[in-house]
Amino acid sequence: MPPQKTQGIVLGFTDWHETSKIVAFYTKDFGKIRGVAKGARRKKSKFSPLEILSHHTIVFYKREDKDLYTLSECQAEETFPNIRKDIKKVAYGAYLVELVAAVSTSEKNEPLFDLFSKALHFLEKKEDFEIIIRAFETRLLDILGFGLQLDSCLICKKELKVNFKLNPGLGGLICIHHLQDGIRLSEETRRFLKSPGIKKVSSETRKELKTVLQNSILYHIGKRLKSLDFLEAIERE
Q: Where along the chain do the CATH 1.20.1440.120 domains lie?
A: 82-236
Q: Does residue 77 register a pLDDT over 80? A: yes
Strands, sheet with 172-175, edge to edge from the N-terminal-most edge strand: 172-175, 164-167, 183-184
CB 128 within 8 A of CB 153: no
Task: Using pLDDT thresholds of 50, 70 and 90, give the confidence band for residue 81.
Answer: very high
Mean pLDDT of the region 121-134: 94
Percentage of the chain modeled with pLDDT above 90: 74
Share the mean pLDDT of the chain.
92
**Whole-prediction pTM:** 0.92
Q: Where along the chain do the CATH 2.40.50.140 domains lie?
A: 4-79
Q: What is the tens place of the pLDDT at every residue in 138-153?
A: 999 999 999 999 999 9
Give the DSSP H/E element, type plus range, for residue 25. Answer: strand 20-27
Nearest C-alpha neighbor of 32 from the set 4, 51, 11, 49? 11
Q: Does residue 3 register a pLDDT over 70? A: yes
Q: What is the tens place of the pLDDT at every residue in 32-42?
A: 999 999 988 88
Q: What is the tens place of the pLDDT at every residue in 141-200?
A: 999 999 999 999 999 998 988 788 898 888 999 988 887 778 888 899 999 999 999 889
CA distances to 158, 163, 189 from 177, rounded to whole Å, are: 11, 9, 21
CA distance 34 to 2: 17
Q: Does residue 237 register a pLDDT over 80? A: no
Which pLDDT does position 119 carry in this prediction?
Answer: 97
Classified by CATH at the fold level, domain 82-236 comes out as: de novo design (two linked rop proteins) (1.20.1440)
CA distance 6 to 153: 43
Question: What backbone torsions phi and psi does residue 219 show, to the nearest 5 degrees?
Answer: -60, -40
Question: What backbone torsions phi and psi does residue 69 show, to the nearest 5 degrees?
Answer: -110, 165
Q: Judging by DSSP bridges, how do beta strands 31-37 and 20-27 pair with one another?
A: antiparallel
Which pLDDT does position 65 carry in this prediction?
Answer: 58
Which pLDDT does position 39 carry in this prediction?
Answer: 87
CATH class of 4-79: mainly beta
